[in-house]
Amino acid sequence: MSLPEAFTERLEKIVPREQFESIIRTFDAPKRVTFRFNPLKTSPEELEAELAQEGIAYERVGWDILSGVYRINPEDKLRLTQSAAFYEGRLYIQNLSSMVAPVLLAPRPEETILDLAAAPGGKTLMLAGMMENTGWLSAVELQRERFFRLCDNLKHQGVTNAHTYMTDGRSVGKKCPLMFDRILLDAPCSSEARFKTHEPKSMSYWSVHKVKETSKLQRRLLLSAFDALKPGGKLLYSTCSFSPEENESPLQHLLERHGEHLKTIPLTLPFDNVQKPLTRWGKEIYDERIQNAVRILPTDTIDGFFICLLEKLE
Ligand code: SAM
């Protein structure tokens, strides 16, 4: 199945012209599989020894910002998912762009952290690991089925500092104002970066109308997250969509309401397939501070993603 025409037309206006064709090709091929060690259950050395014993050929992803990250070919995935390390939660399969978000938010042990749209929990698990299972980690998820999947994942991976809430993230800012040191809002999105031409279901719900509806939800979640943040606290906003309505626009909306109380933080990523945010889209002209965010462009290993880190001023 081919990509939706309206999607490719829009994408052409978003990504750099010279990379458009190669980006389009990334939707066709299966991605290389990446995974990381679970610091709550093992160390990189122990996991590597275990994988070697099971005959699983891995390649280290040599990142300064995070150790114990590995890559395998798609055809070896079944072998990995049949390993004891996978069954017993000593590793977690996750795309590299998803790993970057918790690393940039950089929670510390003993802090009070909120993950406002948490299921299935890949990033919550990382936050817990970085907090060394200390402090207070609230994980919020609205959808019932996904909420229980989140709870199962946290238990399976040995997380003990998380408090899970099946509730609407839009209400959290009012219920818990100024409460959290750091907040992750990995927002519900139209998941454009997860489209796969060999999986028609991945794009069957997409439409420009859906993108605009999702944008409204993202704006409200972002305002709620900002209300829940302590002065001096950090908030990371991310999506796995390309659409500016889901990325630059919610940030613009937040800046129009609270611009004098926040700053954005420049980001350094461990790879170079990134692009600066757009300065305008349609009739909207975006605040200069949004330029500190990054749009990650997809490759054969890395999914597309958008990340903005901001700080609430004291
Ligand atoms: N951070 C997760 C991870 O890495 O595994 C993925 C989060 S996913 C992009 C967004 C989640 O937000 C979905 O599970 C969705 O059900 C949930 N969601 C949607 N609307 C919500 C709302 N109003 N409040 C809280 N969660 C919501």
Provide the residue ranges of all domains of the chain, joining segments of one domain with +: 5-30+96-312, 32-94
Q: How far is the CA of 17 from the centre of ligand 1 (A)?
A: 32
Given the DSSP bridges, would you call strands 136-141 and 112-115 parallel, antiparallel or unpaired? Answer: parallel
Nearest residue by C-alpha to atom 17 in ligand 1: 117
Indicate if 32-94 has the same CATH topology as 5-30+96-312.
no
Task: Report how far ligand 1's centroid is from the alpha carbon of 173 (Å).
Answer: 16
Q: Rounded CA gap, 162 and 151, in Å? A: 9
Distances (CA, A) of 127 to 39, 87, 102, 109, 116: 11, 21, 6, 10, 12
CB neighbour class for 189 (10 Å; exposed up to 12, middle 13-18, buried from 19):
buried
User: Would strands 280-281 and 284-285 be described as parallel, antiparallel, or unpaired?
Assistant: antiparallel
**Distance (Å) from CA 195 to ligand 1 centroid:** 18
Q: How many residues does the chain have?
A: 314
Pocket residue to mutate for ligand 1, from 141, 171, 236, 305, most atoms within 8 A of Cβ: 141
Q: Where are the alpha helices (DSSP H) in 119-243?
A: 122-130, 144-156, 172-175, 208-228
**Cα 175 to ligand 1 centre (Å):** 19
Name which residue sits closest to atom 15 of ligand 1, judged by CA.
Answer: 188
Q: Could you tell me which residues come within 8 angstroms of residue 30 by beta carbon, excluding any fewer than 6 positions away? A: 74, 196, 198
**The CATH number, out of the four listed (3.40.1390.10, 3.20.20.70, 3.40.50.150, 3.30.70.1170), of the domain defined by the range 32-94:** 3.30.70.1170
120 lines ligand 1 (CB under 6 A): yes
Asked if residues 118 and 140 have their Cβ atoms less than 8 Å apart, the reply is yes
Contact 171, 195 (CB under 8 A): no
Please name the residue whose Cα sits nearest to atom 21 of ligand 1.
Answer: 142
The tokens for 242 are: 């390309």
Smallest Cα–Cα separation from 124: which of 80, 177, 172, 183? 183
**What's the CA-to-centroid distance between 20 and ligand 1, angstroms?**
29
Please work out whether the CB of residue 121 comes within 6 Å of at least one atom of ligand 1: yes
Task: Kindly state if the Cβ of 143 falls inside 6 Å of ligand 1.
Answer: yes
Burial 108-118 (b: 16+ CB within 10 A, else e): eeebbbbbbbb
Nearest CA to ligand 1 atom 1: 118
Query: In the annotation, is 189 catalytic?
Result: no
Q: What pLDDT score does 29 carry? A: 84
Q: Which atom of ligand 1 is nearest to the CA of 143?
A: 16
Sign of CA dihedral 80, 81, 86, 92: positive
pLDDT for residue 139? 98
- By most ligand atoms within 8 Å of CB, the mutation choice from 165, 186, 219, 237 for ligand 1 is 186
Which atom of ligand 1 has the smallest separation from the CA of 140?
Answer: 25
Angstrom CA distances, 22 to 1, 15, 192, 273, stand at 18, 11, 16, 12
> Is 173 touching ligand 1 by the criterion CB < 6 Å?
no
Tell me what pLDDT residue 64 has.
Answer: 87
In Å, what is the CA distance from 296 to each residue of 122, 151, 276? 18, 29, 9
Q: What does CATH list as the number for 5-30+96-312?
A: 3.40.50.150
Residue 186 CA: nearest ligand 1 atom is: 1
Question: Which of 153, 122, 160, 121 is closest to 140 using CA atoms?
Answer: 121
Instruction: Going from the first residue of the chain to its last (314 residues), give the mean pLDDT of each consecutive group of 10, the final group possibly shorter.
Output: 95 97 94 96 97 94 92 93 97 97 98 98 98 98 98 98 98 98 98 95 95 98 98 98 98 98 96 97 97 97 97 96
Q: Is 276 helix (H, G, I), strand (E, B) or coil?
A: coil
Report pLDDT for 184: 99
Q: Give the dihedral of Cα atoms 127, 77, 300, 197; nearest 10 deg.
A: -110
Which single residue is written with the structure tokens 């390993």?
A: 83
CA of 184 to the centre of ligand 1 (A): 11
Answer whether 245 contacts ligand 1 (Cβ < 6 A). Answer: no
Q: Catalytic: which of 151, 189, 240, 308?
A: 240
Nearest ligand 1 atom to the CA of 120 is 5
Peptide bond into 277 cis (omega under 30): no
